[in-house]
A and B are shown apart, each in its own frame.
Chain A
Amino acid sequence: MRARVIAGGVVTSAAVLVIGWQLGGQPAVTAQSGAATGSTSGSSSSSGTGSSSSGTGSSSSDSGSSSSDSGSSSSAGSGTSSSVSGTFAGAATQTQFGPVQVQIVVADGKITDVTALQLTDRDGRSEQISQQAAPILRQEALQAQSAKIQAVSGATYTSEGYTTSLQSAIDKAGL
């Protein structure tokens, strides 16, 4: 469809291609009202998930060899993972912007949406106020890949950073 991957396919050496894909050139932030949440959002209006797991704070990663809990899904624990569906939120952690957690929506073992939730602590209780921070998984990447992944590889996360990472949400989903 878009030709930008190929457009810059200049062979600069025998083994390496330059893909003319400007990271900054494409709006990385797709409209939050996009289709991804809509199609699978049966369980994604998850203020309940958000507020319930935020209490665990950032301490969950030191808990030794703990099996991951299943988020709001009932099917994460056992058997083949292809049938996992549901909404899973990583633990909330304190950042300079306030508490943040990553939430994924899984349908039949595939990640269909990822959202960074920002929580605010008001009157002693956390609540979800915004999903705008980081709409994740570019729409076209989702279409191409269907995001059926069990691991994420990027710059190494710290043990603190893990709690809010995509990997943490995937682990909780048991993908």
Chain B
Amino acid sequence: MSVTTFETMGTVVSVRGAATATVSAVRAVFAGYDRRYSLYDPASVLSRIAAGSLRLADSPDEVRAVYALALEWRDRTGGAFTPHRPDGVIDLSGVVKALAIRAAGAALDAAVAPGDSGDASWMLNAGGDVLVRGRHGADPWSVGIVDPDQRDVVVGVVQLDDRRAVATSGTAERGEHVWRRSAPTFRQATVIADDIVTADVLATAVVAGDEDDLRRITGDGTVDVLAFGVDGRVWATPGATGLVRAGSPSPAA
């Protein structure tokens, strides 16, 4: 399958199942988000807000809408996820990459010819946050989850049959802005969800939070979680238990 990669937001995006022109549209989506929200770019809207040269109230509606969305997620996660850096700066990185992936997915969908929308398939992977549509040939798209200790060791495989999004957050990553409220409980968390924003935000929230936060996040059963504790334990929702089949008494067919 043809694979195209490009660099954005400090990481690399891999696109499968897209024509060249469509990949250009996808690149433009990421570049647009990066331009508005990057704190590494002093000219971005968010950098100017952080520097005090632009008031939040004077920022574009879209930026304030993203901020509102981030605050909504802060409330839904009991504060485990927050768009506020400890020094008070508003940092929307925790939602912006996922929003860019979602928008890029819309661009990929828009490029699908009307006639074959039923079986159009693509996969977007932005630095380990994955959104898919359709299937990989006859099989579901499959995503390997890496060992938090060894990034080349796959400890489980997520088959995206019903769900479309996988995101992982971990203490090893940079630029992801996980701010803990206390001593860390988890060092890596993978969330499988219907949409990439939910998966990404909740993965961040699990790593930022503790066991109570994990129970709260998984309480309503809408997402699956695989989390690696700092104590060596591995936590999984019932739906995610089968992901780590190493040593499972019932070998996979």
Contact = CB atoms under 8 A, between A and B. Distances in A.
Residue among A3, A19, A174 with max Cβ neighbours from chain B (10 Å)? A19
A102 B3 contact: no
A143 B251 CA distance: 8
Interface in A6-55: 6, 8, 12-26, 28
Nearest to A82: B137
A175 interface: yes
Interface in B1-32: 1-7, 10-12, 14, 16, 20, 23-24, 27
Nearest to B226: A19
Contact of A64 (B6, B174, B249): B6
Contact of A144 (B128, B236, B246): B246
A162 B12 contact: yes
B168 interface: yes
Contact of A18 (B154, B156, B233, B238): B233
Nearest to A21: B234
Residue among B150, B152, B167, B233 with max Cβ neighbours from chain A (10 Å)? B152
A149 B159 CA distance: 9
Contacts of A61: 5, 7, 12
A18 B238 CA distance: 10
Contact of B241 (A12, A19, A62): A19
A107 interface: no
A57 interface: no
B23 A65 contact: yes
A150 B156 CA distance: 13
A152 to B, nearest CB: 5
A153 B128 contact: yes
Interface residues of B, number: 80
Contact of A17 (B3, B236, B245): B236
Contacts of A143: 251
Contact of A154 (B1, B170, B219, B234): B170
A166 interface: yes
B123 interface: yes
Interface in A60-85: 61-62, 64-68, 77-78, 80-82
Nearest to A67: B4
Contact of B144 (A20, A144, A151): A151
Nearest to B145: A153
Given A28-B147, A68-B3, A114-B152, A154 B11 contact: no
Contacts of A26: 246-247
A27 to B, nearest CB: 12
Interface string A142-165: 011101111111111111001001
A66 to B, nearest CB: 7
B175 A174 contact: no
6 contacts: A5-B244, A15-B219, A16-B218, A16-B225, A151-B166, A155-B176
Interface of B: 1-7, 10-12, 14, 16, 20, 23-24, 27, 123, 125, 127-130, 136-137, 139, 141-158, 166-176, 188, 190, 211, 214-215, 218-219, 221, 225, 228, 232-238, 241, 244-249, 251-252
